[in-house]
Structure 1
Amino acid sequence: MDTFASSLLSFAHQLFGPGICPGDWVWATSTAGALVALFPVLGAVVVALIRKGTGNRYDTTITAAIGIVGTVAVLVIPWLLLNGISSTYRAARSEPKSSGLSSAELATFDNDYCSFIGNQKQYLGGGRNIYESLFYPHNDKLEYGYYLIALIALPALALLFVKLQANAAMRRGPKWPTRFFWIPFVLLVVLSGGVEANAAVHLWLGFVPISVLGIIPVALVGPPAWSTINRSERPPEKPQPEPYRPPPPPPQEPKQYPPTAMAQEPQLAAAPGPVPVPPGSSAAGSSRYRRIRQLGHGGFGTVWQAVDNQLGRTVALKIAHAPDRDTEQRMEREARALAVVNHPNCVRVYDLVEEPDGLALVMEYLEGQSLSAVVDGNGPLDDIAAGRLWATMAGALAAAHDKGVLHRDVKPSNVIIDPAGLAHLIDFGIARSQGDSTLTATGMMVGTPDFVAPETAAGAPASPASDAWQLAATVSYALAGQPPRGTRETPMAALMAAARAEPVSKLPQRTVHHRLLIASLDSEPRRRPTLTAVRREVEGWLARAGKSPDGPVTRIITPQHTSQRRPLR
C-alpha cells in the first residue's frame, strides 16, 4: 500500500504542486488529502445506488454490503493512504531510494520556501507525529495551539460533512445505517495518530473542501422512488385462508337465550359476520341510554350525546334512520371496524344495540371541534401543528390497516380536536375490512368528492394508498384552508375532477411539508409513500425541530367554545 500511496503523492504533485509558498510538496500534500476524501464520497454514492433498488429493505445481505462499503471507503483505504503518505515522507528524508519517488521529485524536497515552513523534507517528514504533537509538552505554546486547533477542528469538520454525505445517501429511510460511515471515520481519526503532524494538517486541509463538495454527487443520485420504498416496507404476503362467512339466518322466531347467557355482557365480533345484539330491554321499548342533546344529523342518521344509565358514563349514540338490511350491514361494518382497532386516536366503540327508533351504535363521546371547524374559525395550522396532525392520524390509520380495516372517508370533518388539542379519527361509517363485499345500495358514493382519491373516484377498489391520499388532502386543507384540488360548484363536478385526476393546484406553498404532500397526493397509488414512511418522515422533521410528535395539533380549545361535530351521510 505504501507504493500506492507514493504513486498517489506523485500524481498529486503533478496535478497541483506549484513552486510557491508554502512549497510544491506542501501543496501536493493538500491535493493528496483531497484525493483521499473522494473515497468516502464514492462509498456514499455506492450506498445511494444500492438503495435505488432496495429501498428500505435491510436484511442481512444488504446491511452487510452497506457496512462493508462504509468501512472500506471511509476507514480502510483512507487509513492506509494517510499512513502510506506519511511513510513516504519519512523515507524521503532518511532513505530517499526506498521512498518510491523519482530522483527529479526528490530533488525538490530540499527546497526552502516560506520562513514558517523552511526545508520541506524536514517539515513534512522529520517532525513529531499527531499523538506526540497533541499529548507531549511543547516549549512553544503558540505552536501547540496551532496543532491543537488544526488536528482536532479539521477532522471534526470533516466528520460533520462525511455524516451529511451518509444522510444524503439514506434519504427517505431510517438514519441508523449512517453509523457505517461516521463510526469508521472516528476510528480513522483515532488510528491515524502515527501520521506526521505537519503532513496531517495539510492532508486534512485538502480533505475538508472535498467532503463539503462531496454532498452534491450523493444528492444528485437522489433517494429511492416511493414505489421502491413501499415495496421494500411491505411485509411478505402469506396465503390467507378464506374467512368464514356464515349464511344469513332464515326467518324464524328470535332465539331464546338461557338466563346465564342473558346476564353476560355481549362482545362485538372481530371477524366478518353478524354482530351480536343484546336481547331484552331495549327491544322491548325501554332504553338503557338517556339522550342529552343532538350532536349531528345527516342523511344516514342522527348522533346524540347520551348517558349510559347502567355505567353512568357519557357516550355518543349513533342511530340509523332506516331500519333496512343495508343500513344494518353498514352499522355492523362500522362496529366491527372499530371493535378490532385499538389506537388512542381512533374513536372507540362500546356496543351495538336496538333502540326503540332503530339500530344504534354506542361510541366514545369526544368533546371538541372538527378540524374543519378549527380551520374555518381560527385559520390554517402552522407546520408544527400540521406535522403532529399528520403523524398522529397516520399512526391511527396504520393501526386500522394492520387489522385489515380501511376508513375510506378521511376528511377534515372526520377529525375531532379535543379540548387538549389532540386529534381523533371518527366516523368509520363506510369503513370495511379488506375483502368484505360492497354495499348493496346502488348509487352509493364512497367518500367525499373534495377529498376522495383519484382511483376510488374512477371506480377502482379502495386501498391503504387511498386512505393515505385522503389523509394528505386533509393535512393540505389544514395548511391551506381549502381542498388540494380546490372547490367545485357541485359534488358531481368535484367527483368528476377527482375521477379525471386533475392536478392538485391548491397546495400550501410556504410549508416544509410541500414536497411530501406532492408525493403523497400523486395520482398513481404505487408511487405514494406509505403511511409508515410518512409518519417516520414527519416525526423525524419534528424531532429535528425540537418538537414532540404527540403534542397538541392546535391551541387548546376552552370547554365553553367546544362542540361535538360528527358529519353523517
Structure 2
Amino acid sequence: MDSIASWLLSLAHNLFQPGFCPGDWVWATSMAGALIALAPVAGAMLVAIVRKFTGNRYSGPALFAIAGIGVIFMLFLPWLLSTGISSIYRDVFAGGSGGLSASELDTMGREYCFVGVQSEYLGGGQNVYETLFYPSDSVLAYGYYLGGLVGLPILALFAVMLLGRVALRRGPKWPGRLLWVSFVAFVLFSVGVEANTAVHLWLGFLPVTVLGVIPVALVGPPSWSVIQNSDRPPEPKRPPEPPARQQPPPYVPPAEEPKPPPKQYPPTSVAPSPEAAGALAAVPGPMPGTGEGNGRFKRIRRLGHGGFGTVWQAQDTQLGRTVALKIAHAPDRDTEERMQREARALALVNHPNCVRVYDLVEEHDGLALVMEYLEGQSLADAVDGSGPLDDVSAGKLWATLASALSAAHDKGVLHRDMKPSNVIVDPGGIPHLIDFGIARSKGDAKLTATGMMIGTPDYTSPDTAAGAQASPASDAWQLAATVSFALSGYPPRGTRETPMAALMAAARAEPPSQLPRQSVHARLLMASLDPQPRNRPTLNAVRREVEGWLARSGTSPEGPVTRVVPRVQ
C-alpha cells in the first residue's frame, strides 16, 4: 500500500506544485487530501446506484453492499492512503527515499517562509494524538492544531452525512449510519498521522467532500416504481411437500352393530376472515340480512341528489342512531351486484377516517346502502368559505387521507372518485373519506362508454381518463389533486367550461397549471401528479414523507385540518 501512497503523492505533486509559501510539497499534501476525498464521494455514488435497483429494501444483499461500501470507501481506503503518505514523509525525514524519485527528494529539502525545511515540517513532528493530548506551551499553536485536527474533521463528517442523505433520497435515512460511522472510525484510526501532514490533508479533503454532493445528486434517486416494488412484502414461501410414502393397506373394521346417526345442530354463524371476505366480495348474489324495507329507517332530510340516486339523513328506529341512506334509483341487476360486492368489501375497511358501512337493505324506492352519518362540511365548502389551507394543515390532510386510502386498498377497495366534495370535515376539523363510487348508474355522465366510472373530470387521473382501469396509482393522483385544491383553491389543471372539456384535458394529460408553487409540498405534488402511474409515489411513500416533514416541523400528523368554528347556539 505504501507504493500506492507514494504514487498518489507524486501525482498530487505533479498536479499542483506552486513554488510559493508554504511550499510545493505542502500544497501537494492538500492536493493528496483532495484525491483521498474522492473515495467517500465514490462510495456515496455507489450507494445511490445500488438503490436504483433495490429501492428501499434494506435487507440481505442490499444492506451488506451498503455496509461494505461504507467500510471500504469511508474507512479502509482513506486510512491506508493518509497513513501511507505520513509514513513517506517520516521516512524521508529519517534519511530514506519513501518511494520518491531523486528530483522529488531534492525539492523536499527546500525551505519556505514559516515552514522551514519541508521534509522536517511534514515528517519530523508529533502525531495527531501527541499534539492534541500533549500540547506545547504556545496557546496560539494549540488553537491552530485544534481547529485543523478537530474542527476540519467535524466539518468533513457533516459533509459525509450529507452525502449519505442525498444518496438515500426517497427512503429512510438510517442506512446512512453505515457510512458516517465508518468515517468516524477513519478519523479515530488516523491519530497516528503526523500532525502537520494531517492538517493539510484535511484542508484538501473538506472542499472535495462538500462538492461531491453534486455528482451524487446527479445519479438521482430510485424511481417511484422501484420504491413501490421494494415496499411490497415478500411472498411467503410454500412449505416443502412431504416425501411420498407407501400407503398402508386399508383398515377393515370388525363387523359391529350400526350406531344411530349423530344429532344434528344448527350451524353457527362465524365471521369470515379478511381473505375469505375478500373472496366473498367478488361473488355476486344477495347479501345476508338484506330484506324488504319495513319502516326501520325514518328519513329526516335529503343530503344530496345526483344521477346515482339520493342520499338521506335518516334515523334507525331499531338502534336509535342517525345514519346516511344512499338509495340507487331503479337499479338494474348489474348495479345491484356491484353495490353488493363493494358493500361487502367496504364493510371490511376499518379506519377511523373512512366512512363505515352498516348494512344494505331494500327500500320501497330502491336498494339502499346504510352508512355512518358524518356531521360537518365538505372540504370543497371549507376551502371556498374559509380559503386555502396552510402547509401544516394540508400535510395533516394528505397524511390522514393517504392512510385511509391505503387501508381501503389493502382490502382490495378502490375509491375511484376522490375529490374535495367527497371529504367531510367534522366539527372537530378531522377529515373523513366518503362515497367510494358504489351506486353509479349507467346513465351517469361520469361513466365511460363501457359503463365504468372514471370520477369527476377535474380530478380524474390521465390514465383513467384515457380508458385504463382504476388502480391505487389513480387514487393517489386524485388524492394529490385534492390536496392541491386545498392549498390553492383550484383543481390542478384549472377549471374548464364544460365537463367534456375537462375530461379531454385529463385524457391529453395536460400538465398541472394551478399548483401551489410556494408550498413546501410542491415537489411531492408534482411527483404524485405525474401522468405515468409507474412514476408516482405510493400512498405509503407519500405518508412517510409528509409525516416526516410534519415531525421535523414539530407537528403531529393527527389533529384538525381546518380551523374549528364554534357552533351557533
TM-score range, shorter chain: 0.7 to 0.9
Corresponding residue for residue 121 of structure 1: 119
**Which of 166, 169, 172 is the equivalent residue of 2:170?**
172
Residue in structure 2 matched with residue 511 of structure 1 by the alignment: 519
What SS is found at the alignment partner of 1:396?
helix
Task: Work out whether 1:528 is the aligned partner of 2:536.
Answer: yes
1:186 CA drift (Å)? 1.1
Give the whole-Å Cα distance in 2 for the aligned partners of 1:23 and 1:61.
47
Q: Aligned partners of 2:206 and 2:453: how far apart in 1?
A: 60
- The structure-2 alpha-carbon separation of the partners of 1:161 and 1:513, relative to structure 1 and needing over 3 Å to count, comes to same
Aligned to 2:248: none
Are the counterparts in 2 of residues 370 and 412 from structure 1 also a CA contact under 8 Å?
Answer: yes
**Alignment check: 8 A CA contact 2:361 2:367 kept:** yes
- Counterpart of 1:285 in structure 2: which amino acid? N
Give 1:520 deviation, angstroms.
2.0
Q: Deviations over 1:384-425 (max 9, x none)?
A: 222222222222212211211111111111112223322221
Q: Distance in 1 between matches of 2:478 and 2:105?
A: 71
Unaligned runs of 5+ in 2: 238-265, 441-446
| Cross-structure match for 1:70 | 70
**Structure 2 contact 293–362 (Cα < 8 Å) conserved:** no
Q: Is the 8 A contact 1:163 1:178 kept in 2?
A: yes
Does residue 278 in structure 1 map to residue 289 in structure 2?
yes
Alpha-carbon displacement from aligned partner over 1:192-217 (angstroms, at most 9, x marks no partner): 11112221111111111001110111
Partner residue of 2:464?
Answer: 456
- Aligned equivalents of 1:416 and 1:402: distance in 2? 22
Q: CA deviation at 1:302?
A: 3.0
Deviations along 1:31-65, one digit per CA (max 9) or x if unpaired, are 11111101111111122222233333434122222
**8 Å contact kept, 1:383–1:479:** yes
Please tell me whether the aligned partners of residues 285 and 356 of structure 1 are also in contact (alpha carbons under 8 angstroms): no
Checking the alignment, whether the CA contact within 8 Å between 1:405 and 1:431 is kept in structure 2 is: no
1:532-543 alignment, distance < 5 Å? 532-543=540-551
**What amino acid is aligned across from residue 76 of structure 1 in structure 2?**
F
Determine if contact 1:375/1:481 at 8 Å carries over to the other structure: yes
Would the aligned equivalents of 1:337 and 1:431 in 2 still touch at CA under 8 Å? no
Q: Distance in 2 between matches of 1:217 and 1:118?
A: 39
The corresponding residue for 1:565 is none
Output the TM-score relative to the length of structure 2: 0.85
CA contact (8 A) 1:286 1:356 kept: no
Structure 1 residue 357 displacement after superposition: 4.7
- Find 2:430's aligned residue among 422, 427, 444: 422
8 Å CA contact 1:487–1:494 kept in 2: the answer is yes
Match of 2:185 in 1: 187
Please give the alpha-carbon distance, in whole angstroms, between the structure 1 residues aligned to 2:405 and 2:448: 25
Counterpart position of 2:200: 202
Closer/same/farther in 2, CA of residues 367 and 95 from structure 1, 3 Å limit:
farther
Are residues 295 and 77 of structure 1, via their aligned partners in 2, closer, same or farther at CA, if it must alter by over 3 Å?
Answer: same
- Which letter does structure 2 place at the counterpart of 1:411? K
1:373 match: 381
- Given that 2:328 and 2:439 are in contact with CA atoms closer than 8 Å, whether structure 1 keeps it comes out as no
Deviation at 1:335, TM superposition (A): 1.9
- Indicate conservation of the 8 Å contact 1:352/1:362, yes or no: yes
Do the aligned residues in 1 keep the contact of 2:303 with 2:313 (CA within 8 Å)? yes
CA distance in 2, matches of 1:558, 1:358: 38
Letter in 2 for 1:149: G
8 Å CA contact 1:267, 1:276 repeated in 2: no
Cα pair distance change 1:413/1:226, threshold 3 Å: same
Matched, 1:397 2:405: yes
Identity between Structure 1 and Structure 2 (%): 67
- C-alpha distance in structure 2 between counterparts of 1:192 and 1:95, whole Å: 24
Q: Distance in 1 between matches of 2:556 and 2:271?
A: 39
For 1:476 and 1:43, how far apart are their aligned partners in 2?
38
Contact 2:488 2:515 in 1 (8 A): yes
Distance 2:293 2:463 in 1: 46
Shift of 1:267: 12
**Could you say if the C-alpha distance between residues 118 and 410 of structure 1 is closer, same or farther in structure 2, counting changes exceeding 3 Å?**
same
How many angstroms does 1:372 deviate by?
Answer: 0.9
* 1:52 alignment partner, SS class: helix
Letter in 1 for 2:295: S
Query: 2:345 matched to which residue of 1?
Result: 337
Tell me which moved more, 518-527 or 209-218.
Answer: 518-527
Contact 1:12 1:29 (8 Å CA) reproduced: yes
Q: Which amino acid aligns with 2:527?
A: A
- Could you tell me which amino acid in structure 1 is paired with residue 551 of structure 2? A
Larger RCO (CA under 8 A, 6+ residues apart) = 1
How big is each residue's C-alpha offset from its partner over 1:200-252, in whole Å with a ceiling of 9 and x where there is no partner?
A: 1111111110011101111112222333333443456799xxxxxxxxxxxxx
Shift of 1:73: 0.8
Which stretch shifts more, 314-323 or 490-499? 314-323
8 Å Cα contact 1:6-1:101 kept in structure 2: yes
3-state SS in 1 of match to 2:313:
strand
1:318 matched to which residue of 2? Answer: 326
Equivalent in the alignment of 2:311: 303
For residue 13 of structure 2, what is the aligned residue in structure 1?
13
Amino acid in the other structure paired with 1:342? N
Matched, 1:544 2:552: yes
1:83-122 matches, within 5 Å, as: 83-97=83-97, 99-115=98-114, 117-122=115-120
* Structure 1 unaligned blocks of 5 or more: 240-259, 433-438, 562-569
Give the structure 2 partner of residue 435 of structure 1. Answer: none
The structural deviation recorded for 1:6 is 2.0
Name whichever of 468-477 and 540-549 sits farther off. Answer: 540-549
SS at match of 2:361: strand
Distance in 1 between residues matched to 2:510 and 2:107, nearest whole Å: 70
1:433-448 correspondence to structure 2 within 5 Å: 443=451, 445-448=453-456
| Distance change (3 Å), C-alpha of 1:441 and 1:218 | closer
What do residues 426-470 of structure 1 show as CA deviations (whole Å, max 9, x unaligned)? 1113399xxxxxx99975643111111222222221111111111
Question: Could you tell me which amino acid in structure 1 is paired with residue 564 of structure 2?
Answer: I
Contact 2:335 2:439 in 1 (8 A): no
User: Deviations for 1:325-360, whole angstroms, at most 9, x for unmatched residues?
Assistant: 344334323422321212222112222334455433
Structure 2 distance, partners of 1:444, 1:233, is 29
Taking the aligned partners of 2:566 and 2:436, their CA distance within structure 1 comes to: 27
Alpha-carbon distance between aligned partners in 2 of 1:308 and 1:278, rounded to the nearest angstrom: 15
Q: Which residue in 2 is equivalent to 1:226? A: 224
Deviations along 1:522-559, one digit per CA (max 9) or x if unpaired, are 22222222222222333333333333333432323434
Distance 1:498 1:7, change over 3 A: same
Q: AA paired with 1:143?
A: A
User: Could you tell me whether the CA contact under 8 Å between 2:71 and 2:179 is conserved in 1?
Assistant: yes
Answer whether contact 1:430 1:446 (CA < 8 A) is retained: no
Q: Is the 8 A contact 1:275 1:336 kept in 2?
A: no
Deviations 1:129-177 (A, max 9, x none): 2222222354223322222222222111111111111222222222222
Q: Which amino acid aligns with 1:47?
A: V
Q: Distance in 2 between matches of 1:65 and 1:189?
A: 22
8 Å CA contact 1:352, 1:360 repeated in 2? yes
Q: Which amino acid aligns with 1:158?
A: A
- Please give the alpha-carbon distance, in whole angstroms, between the structure 1 residues aligned to 2:166 and 2:134: 39
Most deviating of 83-92 and 135-144: 135-144
- CA distance, structure 1, for counterparts of residue 234 and residue 269 of structure 2: 44
Task: Write the deviation string for residues 251-307 of structure 1: whole angstroms up to 9, x where unpaired.
Answer: xxxxxxxxx999999999652244635377xx46331x4444433333323333344
- Cα separation, 2, equivalents of 1:490 and 1:443: 20
> Higher mean Cα deviation, 47-56 or 391-400?
47-56
| Alpha-carbon distance change, 559 to 326 in structure 1, aligned in 2, over 3 angstroms | farther
